[in-house]
Amino acid sequence: MKVLLVDDEEQFRTAVAKQLSVRGHTVHGAGTGEAGLAMAKAISPDVVLLDMRLPGMNGTATLKEMKRVSPLTEIIMLTGHATVKAAMEAINMGAFDYMTKPMGINELIYKMEDAYKKKRLAKQQIKVATTPVNNR
Amino acid sequence: MMNLIPKTLARLFNKGPKPDPSNAEELRLNFKSRYHHFKLLLNANNRCLEEMAEMEQALKGDKTFGMSFVRTCCTAISVNVLTMINNMEHLSPGKYPDLGPRFDAIRRELDRLLHPKARVQEERLVIPFDKINQEMANVVGGKMAKLGEIKNQLEINVPQGFVITATAYERFIHLNDLQDEIDTITQASGADDLKKLDIISAQIQQKIITASMLDGLETAVNENWNLLEQNVNRPLQLAIRSSALCEDSLDSSFAGQYRSELNVDQENFAQVYKEVVASKYSVQAMTYRLNKGFRDEDIAMCIGCMEMIDAVAGGVIYTRNPVNADDDSVFINSAWGLPKLVVDGSDAFDLLAVSRNQPFTITQRDIGEKTIRYRCSQGDGIEKVPVPEAHRTTPSIDDPTALTLARISLAIEEYYTIPQDIEWALSLEGRLYILQCRPLQQKKRTMPAPDLPGLAPPLLSGGITASPGTATGPVYRAIRDADILWFPENAILLVDQARPRWAPLLNRAAGIISEHGGFAGHLANVAREFSVPAIMNIQGALETLEPGDVITMDADTCSVYKGEQPAILAKEQPPRPSPMKQSTVFKLLEQACDLIVPLNLMDPDATEFRPGACKTFHDITRFIHERSVHAMFNFGTNNNFPEHSSKQLHYHVPLNWWILNLDDGFSATVTGPYVRLNTIASHPMLAFWEGFILVPWDGPPPVDGRGLMSVMFRSTMNPSLVPGVRSKYADKNYFMISRHYCSLNSRLGYHFSTMEALVSGRASEDYINFQFKGGAADYDRRIKRVLFIKEILETYDFTVTVREDTLTARMEGQGTEVLKTRLMILGYLSLHTRQIDMIMSNSRRVRFYREKIGNDIDERIIKPHFNKEEEHHG
């Protein structure tokens, strides 16, 4: 899986990237919402892990913009401080899930796999639905 | 659900036109996508159930938790319920429009609970003592509100000063955007992990100390400071004392948990302010709040700034005996110099008892050997200096001073109508000041044990009862702060000085023994709050008691014995309170649970089984789960899609078992009406089936007369229950399967059962849910049967609940092999407990079947799968 991890804590980025890499995933990192957006456009990630608390453009604004630019992108929001209000906002904006740090690496990977599968299926459905019947 | 599925099934077999092959791929993909949404919905349902179980576990009261636990649970459940609603919308678009509004209404209630309460509007950052009274505790903190009250109402002498308000604190935190950071850091720590707490305490305190000072606060402080100096016409150093909200109540003194800085120069004010604010996050304060269940956001740190009294003597008065409710003497603890020495328990001091009846008389006089005292340093701060040899054993106050102190104390006690704990100082000029007063909790004294024949003499005796009761455990000697990190649960803490820094251990210690200190120190105070037996000032303890040795301490007689002494421990103990259960956080969790956990939607056939009737999140999840299963079943039929319509199981002969393949549950394409067992690729279904056919059923148990009468009676009431009569309720069983998932709805004989299992190898997500109800016998026997099955399932680690004649069992967080054997057990029980309700009133037969079932399970299921005799957890 091609994963984009947007989090301003470099230590967290490094630790997660290392754990995902050894399991065969490619991880790209960004420290701000703006950098995350630029990176998302450049690499078209399979799944985005996006921290709620970011300097400058915050997680919610970044989520909104990412979903606007690429509605099929599946984004898992991460937070150090869970609040019902922020979680509802994120899910209603189309986040795939909202996870509280620290999370187990397996739990995170399962979530990423589920998100990626959802994206793949949605893409296939669009492709089939938009292909003329005699071309299938 | 079970009543609706047969109707669905009937439709499944309606032969209609086959779908247009050009649409088949789209349908197939659509089905795949729906199945993925269904799985996401099941995952979310599972998470909700896990979180609910965790919340209910916490409500048992033996777990210490803070607001971050409550917030995290509520957030996780809200997210997962919303995820279920969203995925349900994918399965049945637009079908349940009332789900969203019901969810929003419950969530708003949760928000209202979790949102910190609004503070009283107060614009002032600083308020002089002259303007303070008891009613202002939520603006200036309980400690300073009380001091203002006794100054202004009782006209008792207190140092002049002012208070920095809760408003100033909140603005300071807000200015630096600290609350979010603090919540983030604290969330990462387990509530009772002292090692982690130590690290996060340092992180948070560092953030506060390096934060920017609030505009306007320094100016306001300087103005008030200058006014105090003008009053006395000389420069003044101040004592900067914490006065946090919620401090100094009867049950929660917070004694010594926050920082106070003495003899502070005006120049250093800003730094000291931040240090005192930061002490809200010291390890001991955070532990204390967690153990007592205070919400972090409810506690604003107000700060009292008062003239520093450089005392010739000082100490603490208890207007009654804290460890003996029958003793009404006034106890005056007094040391040379500043009163700090008495409260931090670092040296000996004097204790005078005064009778409360007029004329006051001194009834007891213990003069300690006072080797050190605290005094104000020339510059900033205070220092410890030796007491001159000649003064060490002379009383630190004279009798008239003691009697005046008793009179002042009793006036305060009379005003507040409850016993008081009062800190006082005698200035170099000979003037008495009250520095602090708070309610004093009294303990009922446990009776000393009668002479116990055969009991070896104590290893140690002497000292002071600081908190009554008896305890046993290994000795743990703590010297440095870091020693608290390795303190073993239920050990006896042995220390040299009774310092408040040991307070974080009170929730874990069986007892406390200190070579120094008295019953008036902060540690003694908190030990009484937690009902931890404590002996202070016991000579030779450090030398006599060996770390690791098990001892028994009797704080009532101030004796310590070798080993565990049941005769001493058998004495009546003061009840050990559960501070959590009375706390704000606990009550909040209870209220949150009320919105989340109760299940009101029980019967899927009832008219009330609808979104609008959902009162809790659990109702919503139950409703969605039920309807999602239907939605999956209906899809193949509604689209007339044979690939996803159900097949009849062929096992030697066609059986009354129908299988719907959700995704990859068959190993090959099945074209005809039957599917053979060797084509089924669903691991959980195969495990269940293996258990089902493992031991042939030897027919219904011989029915006793009462059992038969009961069946006859019920059959006349409900003809569809008569055996042999074909009805839509006759034995039929439906599986929905994929490779890792299976959902079973079954009616065998007179009972219904549903089973759902996900066995994907993702241990944190895999689960088994089993529900069982009904039966032909009378209610009493049906209940006996579910209890019979409950006992069996609990033996094999299921979490089981029984409500009326419905049994629900659940297992999660286990490995594949364990889940597989549990599915086999459910398969086995589904066959072998049918009609067992008929013999439930015959205890001999019940015992026979219990033994047979236990034996079959152990020998035929557990043993072949595990090398050891039984490994419940794989």
Q: Which pLDDT tens digit goes with each residue over B798-817?
A: 999 888 788 899 998 888 99
Looking at the partner chain, which of A82, A118, A128 has a beta carbon nearest the beta carbon of B29? A128
The alpha carbon of residue A96 is apart from the nearest alpha carbon of chain B, in Å, by 8
- Summarize the confidence of residues B520-531 as an average pLDDT: 85
- Asked which of B117-126, B136-145, B306-315, B552-561 is least confident by mean pLDDT, the reply is B117-126
Omega within 30 of 0 (cis) for the link into B723 = no
Q: How far is CA B661 from the centre of its chain?
A: 43
User: Over 50: is that where the pLDDT of B797 sits?
Assistant: yes
Q: Which long-range contacts (CB under 8 A, 24 or more apart) does B114-122 make?
A: B114/A83, B114/A84, B114/B70, B114/B71, B114/B74, B114/B588, B114/B592, B116/B295, B116/B297, B116/B298, B117/B298, B119/B166, B119/B167, B119/B170, B119/B300, B122/B165, B122/B166, B122/B167
Cβ distance A69 to A41 under 8 Å?
yes
In the prediction, which pLDDT does B227 show? 95
Question: Are the C-beta atoms of residues B419 and B320 closer than 8 Å to each other?
Answer: yes
| A122 Cβ under 8 Å from any chain B Cβ | yes
Residues 26-45 of B with CB under 8 A from A: 26, 29-30, 32-33, 36-37, 39-40, 43
DSSP character string of B541-610: HHHHPPTT-EEEEETTTTEEEES--HHHHTSPPPP---GGGGSHHHHHHHHHHHHHS------TTSTT-S
Burial classification of residue B842, based on how many CB atoms lie within 10 Å of its CB (0-12 exposed, 13-18 middle, 19 or more buried): middle
Least confident of A65-79, B75-89, B851-865: B851-865
Q: How far apart are CA A56 and CA B245, in angstroms?
A: 34
Model confidence pLDDT, tens digit, residues B702-729: 555 444 444 444 433 443 333 333 333 3
Name the nearest CA neighbour of B62 among B539, B523, B525, B581: B581
pLDDT confidence tier of residue B115, bands split at 50, 70 and 90: confident
Cα B173 to Cα B199, B241, B294, distances in angstroms = 21, 19, 19
Q: How far apart are CA B195 and CA B415, in angstroms?
A: 44
Q: How confident is the model over B244-257, as a mean pLDDT? A: 73
Interface contact flag, A100 B188, Cβ < 8 Å: no
**In this predicted model, what pLDDT tens digit does every residue of B654-709 receive, in sequence order?**
888 889 888 889 999 888 889 999 999 999 999 999 998 888 876 665 555 444 44
pLDDT at B452 over 90: no
CA distance B590 to B587: 5
**Dihedrals phi, psi of B282, to nearest 5 degrees:** -70, 160
Would you state the pLDDT for residue B99?
Answer: 95
pLDDT of residue B730 exceeding 60: no
Search chain B and give the residue with CA nearest A126: B26
The pLDDT confidence band at residue B233, using thresholds 50, 70 and 90, is very high
Confidence of residue B20 (pLDDT cuts 50, 70, 90): low
B184 touches A at CB < 8 Å: yes
Are residues B75 and A100, on separate chains, in Cβ contact within 8 Å? yes
Please tell me the distance in Å from A42's CA to the nearest CA on chain B: 28
Substitution target in A51, A52, A75, A83 with the highest count of B β-carbons within 10 Å is A83
For the beta sheet containing B806-812, the strands, ordered from the edge strand earlier in sequence to the opposite edge, are B674-676, B647-651, B653-661, B732-737, B741-748, B751-758, B767-774, B806-812, B799-803
**Alpha-carbon dihedral B351, B354, B356, B361, rounded to 10 degrees:** -170
Contact B762 A106 (CB under 8 A): yes
* A58 in contact with B, Cβ within 8 Å: no
Q: How far is A105 from chain B (nearest CA, A)?
A: 11
Query: CB contacts < 8 Å between A and B, how many?
Result: 88
DSSP bridge pairs for B659: B647, B735
The answer to whether residues B500 and B257 touch, using CB atoms and an 8 Å cutoff, is yes
Closest by CA to B136, choosing from B158, B162, B170, B175, is B162
**Amino acid present at B253:** S
User: What does the pLDDT read at residue B249?
Assistant: 65
CA dihedral over B387, B391, B393, B398, signed as positive or negative? negative
Q: How confident is the model at residue B625 (pLDDT cuts 50, 70, 90)?
A: very high
| Cα dihedral sign, B376-B379-B383-B389 | negative
Using CA atoms, how far apart are residues B493 and B477, in angstroms rounded to an integer?
Answer: 6
> For residues B459 and B545, is the Cβ–Cβ distance under 8 A?
yes
pLDDT digits (tens, 9 = 90+) for B576-617: 666 667 778 888 999 999 999 998 887 777 889 999 999 999
State the pLDDT confidence band at B129, using cuts at 50, 70 and 90: very high
B110 close to A (CB below 8 A): yes
**Does B765 reach chain A within 8 Å, measured CB to CB?**
yes
Q: Mean of the pLDDT values across residues B209-217?
A: 93
Does B111 touch chain A if contact means CB atoms closer than 8 Å? yes
The class of domain A13-101 in CATH terms is alpha beta
CB atoms closer than 10 angstroms to residue B233? 6
Q: Do the chains contact at B764 and A106, CB–CB below 8 Å? A: yes
Between CA B253 and CA B554 the distance in angstroms is 25
Q: Please indicate whether, in this complex, the C-beta atoms of A129 and B26 are within 8 angstroms of each other.
A: yes
Q: Tell me the CATH class for B460-577.
A: alpha beta
A11-20, A81-90, B196-205, B632-641: least confidently modelled range: B632-641
CB contact under 8 A, A125 and B71: no
B157-198, pLDDT tens digit by residue? Answer: 999 999 999 999 999 999 998 988 888 888 766 555 777 888
CB contact under 8 A, A121 and B29: yes
* Contacting residues of B for A91, CB less than 8 Å apart: 79, 82-83, 86
Q: Average pLDDT for residues B455-483, to the nearest whole number?
A: 90
Which of these ranges, A87-101, B316-330, B422-436, has the smallest mean pLDDT? B316-330
Pick the CATH number of B309-440 from 3.40.50.300, 2.60.40.1180, 2.60.40.10, 3.30.470.20: 3.30.470.20
Write the pLDDT tens digit of every residue in B46-61: 899 989 988 988 888 7
How much is the pTM? 0.71
Helix axis angle, B21-58 relative to B67-91, nearest 10°? Answer: 160
Across the range B554-571, mean pLDDT stands at: 89
Query: Residue B78: closest CA among chain A residues belongs to which residue?
Result: A84
Q: What confidence score (pLDDT) does residue B105 get?
A: 94
DSSP secondary structure string for all residues of B254-273: -TTTS-EEEEE-GGGHHHHH
Question: According to the model, what pLDDT value does residue B159 have?
Answer: 96
pLDDT digits (tens, 9 = 90+) for B753-776: 889 999 998 888 899 999 887 666
Chain B nearest C-alpha distance from A97 (Å): 7
Which residues on chain A are in Cβ contact (under 8 Å) with B32?
121
The residue of chain A nearest to residue B26, with distances taken between CA atoms, is A128
Q: Stretch B525-538: mean pLDDT, rounded?
A: 89
Give ranges for CATH 3.50.30.10 in chain B: 460-577
Q: Which residue of B36, B39, B111 is in closest CB contact with A85?
A: B111
Whether B501 shows a pLDDT value over 80: the answer reads: yes
Under CATH, to which class is B99-308 assigned?
Answer: alpha beta
Percent of chain B with pLDDT over 70: 86
Distance CA B366, CA B463 (A): 12
Q: What integer pLDDT is reported at residue B413 of this predicted model?
A: 92
- Give yes or no for A8 touching B (CB within 8 A): no
**CB-CB under 8 Å, B72 with A82:** yes
* Distance (Å) from the alpha carbon of A41 to chain B's nearest alpha carbon: 26
Q: Contacts of residue A129 in chain B, CB cutoff 8 Å?
A: 26
* Closest listed residue to residue B735, CA positions, set B696, B768, B688, B671: B688
Determine, for residues A125 and B114 on separate chains, whether the beta-carbon distance falls below 8 Å: no
Tell me how far the alpha carbon of residue A76 is from its chain's centroid. Answer: 4
Indicate the pLDDT class of residue B641, thresholds 50, 70 and 90.
low
Amino acid present at B378: Q
Which pLDDT value is given to residue B11? Answer: 43
Q: What is the pLDDT of residue B91?
A: 92
Checking if the pLDDT of B221 tops 80, the result is yes
pLDDT of residue B782: 81
Taking an 8 Å cut-off on Cβ atoms, the answer to whether A104 and B764 are in contact is yes
B86 contacts in A (CB within 8 Å)?
Answer: 91
pLDDT for B701 equals 59
Q: Which residue of B has its CA nearest to A120?
A: B33
List pLDDT tens digits, range B276-299. Answer: 999 999 988 888 888 877 888 888
Give pLDDT tens digits for A10-69. 988 999 999 999 999 999 999 999 999 999 999 999 999 999 989 889 999 999 999 999
Rounded to whole angstroms, the Cα distance separating B130 from B144 reads 11
A80 touches B: beta carbon within 8 Å: yes
- Whether residue B330 contacts residue B356, with contact meaning beta carbons closer than 8 Å, is answered with yes
CA distance B649 to B742: 15
Q: Is the pLDDT of residue B410 over 80?
A: yes
CA distance B831 to B853: 11
- Is residue B333 within 8 Å of B317, Cβ to Cβ? yes
- Residue B420: strand, helix, or coil: strand
Residue B873 has pLDDT above 60, yes or no: no
